[in-house]
Amino acid sequence: MYESFSKLYYLCSMGRIMGIDYGQKRVGLAVSDPLNIFATPLQTVTVDKVTDFIKKYTASEPVDLFVVGYPRHLNNTPAQNAPRVTAFVTHLKRIFPTIPVILTDERFTSKMAFQAMIDGGLKKKDRRDKATIDKISAVLILQEYLQNNTL
């Protein structure tokens, strides 16, 4: 009984995991629930404001891990935005040295996000909002990580 209670307490005291879809202009952000079971969209911010947003968020919510989508071509070579993502990850590690950063493949997340909006019944006008696609892409990046790497 005590062992089960301690495990439950540990699970409830875990920090969130933040999923990041870093683009040229915007950054889609998603976070896990406190038990790290599912991902939810958080925000889409411009590249120049992402650090301040993450600082504010981590000041109010514990974050144990950043999962950043890394762009690759079909042949597994880095895509055009890869150097920007690498520079962002370096910056992230410098600003948040105690929070680990994991890179994960983000191929097809934008297409999957767009399809999810269609499947969810979003109107054509609303599907044009690229900020929504970025947020959903961050959710997909994070959800895949959660499914493959957590309890």
Residue 117 · residue 127 · CB < 8 Å: yes
Q: What is the pLDDT confidence band of residue 3, given thresholds at 50, 70 and 90?
A: very low
Interatomic CA distance for residues 72 and 78, integer angstroms: 4
- pTM for the model stands at 0.81
Q: How far apart are CA 53 and CA 47, in angstroms?
A: 10
Q: What was the pLDDT predicted at 139?
A: 92
- Which CATH number fits the domain that encloses residue 78? 3.30.420.140
Can you name the residues that pair with 46 across neighbouring β-strands?
26
What are the percentages of helix, strand and coil residues in the chain, rounded to 5? 50, 25, 25
What's the full length of the chain, in residues?
Answer: 151
The pLDDT value given to residue 110: 57
Count of domains for the chain: 1
- Per residue in 93-111, pLDDT (tens digit) is 999 999 999 999 876 565 5
For residues 136-149, average pLDDT: 89
The per-residue pLDDT for 142 is: 94
CA distances from 129 to 9, 67, 114, 118, 125 (A): 40, 23, 10, 13, 8
Q: What domain range is 122 assigned to?
A: 2-149
- For residue 80, the 8-state DSSP code is T
What is the average pLDDT across 59-80? Answer: 89
Q: Give residue-wise pLDDT tens across range 130-139.
A: 667 788 889 9
